[in-house]
């Protein structure tokens, strides 16, 4: 197998086809489901729950006595508690009739499987010992995993990213593959990356409210960072590092625009599951690139604006979403909608949702990792003031370009594996990318970047829809080639993620 092409091979091999679904979706072995929580046996646990922004502690059911905001340098324990809570803390408990329960989190996750773990690294502060901590969402605490200042290592392994040196706090996301692979098998890696993007969406959005600037980093030497966190290679892996300085940092794009090293030399065993072959094959292996360095600069994201420019252009204008009161309140309310009514919402509401989806507080665009390659299509099914049909969305000029008109609810129902959610949605936002083009710049790692970017935008679409009292849900399972056919796209343009938007059942708008 050509490991240079593992991302393309993986994508092809993990496509869903109606004729193969019986093989691809095997019966679940409930006894083998991994726990969504990681246990750390450490003496040092820091309870963050007194600072929860809630009246009742969701873990004990007891009232929370408000604690006065303590002094802390350079941030308080309260700020860290809220940051982690709104990033992916437990925001709801779902009780099943059999007495079991599911702790639901701030960010959505495919299948309710929660494969992503969060670690924080801190140094030089008055609230915590220097070290690396695992965020234990099941009781909202930090477990000290390793004591010490690891900044030299983080800086080195992240290719001297400018934001790390200026930060005293890093948030690291890792994935425990089997939590998702247990149900989704090889296709799990796609969903794990999307989940990670959603979590980053909460983190990046909420961080500004606590005075942090966020710099998500996707380029690092995987095995060195994994070792720093003592992750079990093959079972888990780091997917992102976010530096959170409290002053803005100048990041030189030229320094970060191309992979620092060849990904082709990585030894990947053909015996590994495909998921692992892609994870390894998209890893960066060494600090110094001995192969000819890529010097190509990715095309400007402006290229995305030029697509379908000759088609009918509809300028979308809507009120910017008013986040007075804080985005945290919306994160608390966020849940994935389980059924839509099939009714419409307005073109202005769609405009506001898309505008927020693409405008990031920390950068001019929401595409964190591969800013030039993610393309957005909107399938309009019931939007007041818009003809039904397939549109391209130009995110900077905020134009919808009608590719062709038509009523495609039956097709959306079908390609989303017969989910009524898709049929009854008012609109579907579909993210796609020309994978080969993205791989020219980022190698196999493009696959990670594109999916994390799509998840990140997906979370922003979630938050803005919820704020407008609309319903929203991600869809990670679809018949890939059927989506291409509907959008009129060649198969080189891969389908990455679908976000459904609509009027939720059981919620009367005020
Ligand atoms: C990547 C991703 C894919 C998802 N795919 C589907 C899907 O195909 N169908 C569906 O009904 N929900 C889907 N969901 C929603 C999850 O089922 C939901 O997030 C999870 O049950 C947790 O519930 P919550 O979002 O309300 O917290 C998806 C969510 C994510 C993040």
Cα angle: 246, vertex 461, 417; to 5 degrees: 135
Q: 303-502: which CATH number, 3.40.50.720, 3.40.718.10, 3.40.109.10, 3.30.1540.20? A: 3.40.109.10
Write the residue with the smallest CA distance to atom 7 of ligand 1: 475
Q: 45-281: which CATH number, 3.40.50.300, 2.40.110.10, 3.40.109.10, 1.10.3720.10? A: 3.40.109.10
Q: What's the DSSP call for residue 65? A: P
Q: Do domains 45-281 and 303-502 have the same CATH topology?
A: yes
> 96: helix, coil or strand?
coil
Q: Which atom of ligand 1 is nearest to the CA of 478?
A: 8
* Site to substitute for ligand 1 among 462, 465, 476, most atoms within 8 A of C-beta: 476
112 lines ligand 1 (CB under 6 A): yes
Report the predicted TM-score, pTM, of the whole model to 2 decimal places. Answer: 0.95
What is the pLDDT at residue 293? Answer: 42
Tens digit of pLDDT for each residue in 130-176? 999 999 999 999 999 999 999 999 999 999 999 999 999 999 999 99
Using CA atoms, how far residue 142 sits from 177, 377, 440, in Å, is 22, 40, 40
- CA–CA separation, 501 vs 473, rounded Å? 7
- CA–CA separation, 483 vs 41, rounded Å? 46
475 lines ligand 1 (CB under 6 A): yes
Partners of 390 in the β-ladder: 379, 404
CB 144 within 8 A of CB 133: yes
Report the separation in Å between the CA atom of 184 and the middle of ligand 1, taken as the mean of its atom positions: 13
Q: Which residues contact 152 (CB under 8 A, 6 or more apart)?
A: none
Report the separation in Å between the CA atom of 417 and the middle of ligand 1, taken as the mean of its atom positions: 14
Closest Cα partner for 343 from 384, 315, 291? 384
477 lines ligand 1 (CB under 6 A): yes
Low-confidence ranges of the chain (pLDDT < 70): 1, 254-271, 288-296, 360-367, 507-510
The answer to whether the peptide bond before residue 74 is cis (omega within 30 degrees of 0) is: yes
Partners of 495 in the β-ladder: 432
What is the pLDDT at residue 507? Answer: 58
Q: Which atom of ligand 1 is nearest to the CA of 190?
A: 1
113 lines ligand 1 (CB under 6 A): no
Write the residue with the smallest CA distance to atom 30 of ligand 1: 110
Tens digit of pLDDT for each residue in 211-265? 999 999 999 999 999 999 999 989 999 999 999 999 999 887 766 655 544 454 5
What is the pLDDT at residue 268? Answer: 61
108 lines ligand 1 (CB under 6 A): yes
Partners of 471 in the β-ladder: 502
459 lines ligand 1 (CB under 6 A): no
- Domain chopping of the chain, boundaries: 45-281, 303-502
Closest Cα partner for 86 from 468, 459, 475, 497? 459
Strand intervals (E) in 234-284? 236-243
Instruction: State the sign of the Cα–Cα–Cα–Cα dihedral 478, 481, 484, 490.
Output: positive
């Amino acid at each position: 197998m050509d490991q240079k092409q593992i991302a393309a091979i993986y994508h092809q091999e993990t496509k869903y086809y109606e004729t193969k679904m019986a093989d691809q979706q095997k019966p679940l072995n409930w006894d083998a489901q991994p726990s969504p929580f990681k246990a750390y046996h450490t003496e040092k646990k820091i309870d963050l729950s007194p600072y929860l922004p809630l009246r009742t502690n969701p873990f004990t059911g007891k009232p929370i006595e408000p604690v006065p905001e303590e002094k802390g340098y350079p941030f308080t324990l309260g700020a860290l508690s809220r940051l982690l809570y709104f990033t992916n803390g437990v925001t709801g408990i779902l009780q099943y009739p059999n007495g079991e329960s599911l702790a639901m989190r701030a960010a959505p996750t495919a299948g309710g499987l929660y494969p992503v773990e969060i670690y924080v690294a801190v140094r030089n502060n008055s609230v915590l010992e220097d070290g690396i901590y695992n965020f234990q969402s099941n009781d909202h605490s930090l477990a000290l995993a390793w004591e010490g200042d690891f900044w030299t290592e983080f800086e080195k392994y992240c290719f001297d990213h400018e934001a790390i040196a200026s930060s005293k706090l890093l948030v690291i996301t890792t994935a425990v593959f089997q939590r998702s692979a247990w149900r989704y098998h090889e296709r799990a890696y796609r969903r794990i990356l999307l989940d990670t993007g959603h979590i980053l969406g909460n983190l990046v959005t909420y961080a500004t409210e606590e005075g942090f600037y966020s710099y998500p980093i996707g380029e690092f030497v995987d095995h060195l960072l994994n070792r720093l966190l003592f992750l079990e290679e093959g079972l888990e892996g780091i997917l992102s590092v976010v530096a959170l300085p409290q002053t803005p940092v100048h990041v030189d794009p030229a320094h970060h625009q191309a992979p620092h090293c060849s990904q082709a030399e990585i030894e990947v065993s053909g015996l590994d599951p495909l998921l692992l072959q892609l994870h390894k094959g998209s890893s960066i292996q060494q600090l110094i690139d001995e192969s000819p360095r890529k010097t190509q600069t990715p095309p400007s994201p402006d290229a995305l604006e030029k697509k379908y420019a000759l088609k009918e252009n509809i300028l979308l204008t809507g009120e910017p979403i008013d986040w007075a009161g804080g985005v945290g309140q919306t994160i608390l309310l966020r849940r994935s909608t389980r059924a839509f009514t099939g009714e419409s919402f307005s073109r202005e509401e769609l405009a506001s949702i898309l505008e927020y989806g693409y405008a990031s507080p920390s950068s001019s665009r929401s595409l964190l990792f591969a800013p030039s390659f993610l393309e957005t299509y909107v399938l309009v099914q019931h939007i007041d003031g818009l003809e039904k049909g397939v549109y391209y969305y130009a995110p900077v000029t905020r134009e919808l370009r009608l590719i062709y008109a038509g009523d495609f609810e039956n097709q959306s129902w079908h390609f989303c594996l017969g989910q009524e959610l898709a049929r009854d949605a008012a609109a579907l936002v579909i993210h796609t990318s020309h994978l080969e083009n993205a791989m020219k710049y980022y190698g196999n790692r493009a696959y990670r970047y594109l999916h994390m970017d799509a998840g990140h935008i997906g979370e922003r679409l979630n938050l803005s829809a919820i704020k407008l009292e609309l319903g929203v849900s991600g869809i990670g399972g679809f018949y890939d080639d059927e989506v291409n056919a509907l959008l009129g796209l060649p198969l080189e343009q891969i389908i990455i993620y679908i976000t459904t938007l609509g009027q939720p059942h059981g919620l009367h708008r005020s």
